């Protein structure tokens, strides 16, 4: 009798283990169109702009789950720290696509925690700028570091998207053709936008601008804009009186008509400067947050184009 009970307990235990195994496998596997069982590839992104690139590159690729450790409203992630839930997302991911260039300050922790996680650094082959500072500006923790806001340049965003597509094609050989086709299609759309923006901005003579936050140096290089000063480099800082005075002097001496703030930042400092100089405040979006649809980056840049045309025409 005792042996029969023990046998039943073993059968029950094995059944429970089998159920757990089936549930786990169901979460990790999906059926291909041919009916064969294949592993689902979970791709995690570190930021909003990288997510939008990956969304385009992985469009219609089977067995892909695209997730992110940041929400669409997160904005600049330079000082972001990973939460427990973020670590769980990474633990369930196969690939982690990062902006790179020092943007993800937590990267060492990720590498140490997840040795099997494949990391794609979208900025690894880019020529990067050092942060520059105007006279009298008080230095922050990020001063003299590489500026990581590379995606704000359409040309660099194209290079990032190409890197993502090419590396995913190596990782997921079965879908190589789709990744490369998607990447080529997205690059064509970005190239058309870049050409249109160059054409429409070409004839403006006064190209001097002031920005709030340091997200636009690559964008400025791309479209031949001259950033005379960057005010309030960090969202949690306030410009000093000396910095404000220097910015006001530069605006008056160089006939600057536009102060550009980001939608993700307070415009308090910009409005203070505008009252002293008569310059107008405009919103220029670095595409660090926004809606989750494939053309979101394109739409943001098209809006930036209209803003620049209005400001430079003043």
Tell me the pLDDT tens digit for each residue of 9-63.
Answer: 545 444 544 444 433 344 444 434 433 336 899 999 999 999 999 999 999 999 9
Would you list the domain boundaries of the chain?
Answer: 38-125+147-194, 202-312
Tell me the pLDDT tens digit for each residue of 258-302.
Answer: 999 999 888 999 999 999 999 999 999 999 999 999 999 999 999
Average pLDDT over residues 213-217: 92
- Provide the pLDDT for residue 132: 52
Lowest pLDDT segment from 2-6, 176-180, 212-216: 2-6
Average pLDDT over residues 190-218: 96
- Provide the pLDDT for residue 281: 97
C-alpha torsion 149→152→155→156, nearest 10:
20
**Two tokens at 90?**
């990474």
Question: Which position has the token pair 């220097």?
Answer: 246
We find that the CATH architecture of domain 38-125+147-194 is 3-Layer(aba) Sandwich (3.40)
Question: Which position has the token pair 């990288």?
Answer: 50
Distance, in Å, from the CA atom of 217 to the CA atom of 226, rounded to the nearest integer, reads 9
Q: What is the mean pLDDT of the chain?
A: 86
Q: Would you say domain 202-312 falls under CATH 3.40.50.1980?
A: yes
State the DSSP code for 279: P
Average pLDDT over residues 216-228: 96
In residues, how long is the chain? 314
Name which residue leads in pLDDT, 145 or 11. 145
Residue 242 has pLDDT above 60, yes or no: yes
- Provide the pLDDT for residue 62: 97
Answer yes or no: same fold for 38-125+147-194 and 202-312: yes
Distance, in Å, from the CA atom of 57 to the CA atom of 184, rounded to the nearest integer, reads 9
Residue 220 has pLDDT above 50, yes or no: yes
Distance, in Å, from the CA atom of 214 to the CA atom of 66, rounded to the nearest integer, reads 29
Distance, in Å, from the CA atom of 99 to the CA atom of 276, rounded to the nearest integer, reads 38
Residue 135 has pLDDT above 50, yes or no: no
Q: How many CB atoms lie within 10 A of CB 247?
A: 29
* Rg, C-alpha atoms of the chain: 24
Tell me the pLDDT tens digit for each residue of 76-111.
Answer: 676 678 999 999 999 999 999 999 999 999 999 999
- Provide the pLDDT for residue 82: 93
* pLDDT tier at 237, thresholds 50, 70, 90: confident
């Amino acid at each position: 009798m005792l042996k029969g009970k023990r046998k039943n307990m073993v059968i029950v235990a094995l059944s429970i283990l089998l159920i757990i195994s089936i549930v786990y496998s169901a979460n990790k596997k999906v059926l291909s169109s041919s009916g064969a069982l294949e592993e689902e590839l979970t791709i995690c992104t570190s930021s909003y702009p990288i997510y939008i690139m990956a969304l385009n590159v992985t469009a219609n690729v089977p067995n892909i789950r695209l997730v992110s450790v940041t929400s669409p409203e997160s904005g600049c992630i330079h000082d972001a720290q990973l939460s427990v839930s973020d670590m769980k997302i990474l633990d369930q991911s196969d690939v982690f696509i990062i902006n790179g260039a020092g943007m993800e300050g937590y990267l060492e922790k990720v590498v140490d925690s997840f040795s099997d996680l494949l990391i794609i650094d979208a900025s690894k082959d880019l020529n990067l700028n050092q942060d520059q500072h105007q006279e009298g500006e008080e230095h922050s923790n990020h001063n003299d570091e590489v500026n990581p806001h590379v995606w704000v340049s359409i040309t660099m965003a194209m290079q990032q998207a190409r890197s993502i597509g090419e590396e995913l094609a190596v990782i997921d050989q079965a879908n190589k053709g789709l990744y490369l086709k998607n990447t080529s299609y997205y690059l064509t759309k970005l190239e058309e936008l870049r050409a249109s923006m160059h054409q429409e901005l070409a004839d403006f003579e006064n190209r001097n601008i002031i920005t709030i936050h340091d997200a636009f140096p690559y964008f400025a290089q791309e479209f031949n804009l001259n950033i005379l000063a960057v005010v309030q480099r960090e969202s949690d800082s306030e410009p000093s009186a000396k910095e404000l005075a220097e910015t006001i002097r530069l605006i008056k001496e160089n006939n600057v008509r536009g102060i550009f703030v980001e939608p993700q930042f307070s415009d308090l400092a910009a409005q203070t400067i505008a009252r002293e100089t008569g310059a107008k405040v405009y919103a220029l979006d670095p595409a660090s947050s926004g809606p989750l649809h494939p053309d979101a980056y394109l739409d943001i840049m098209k809006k930036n184009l209209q803003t620049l045309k209005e400001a430079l025409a003043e």
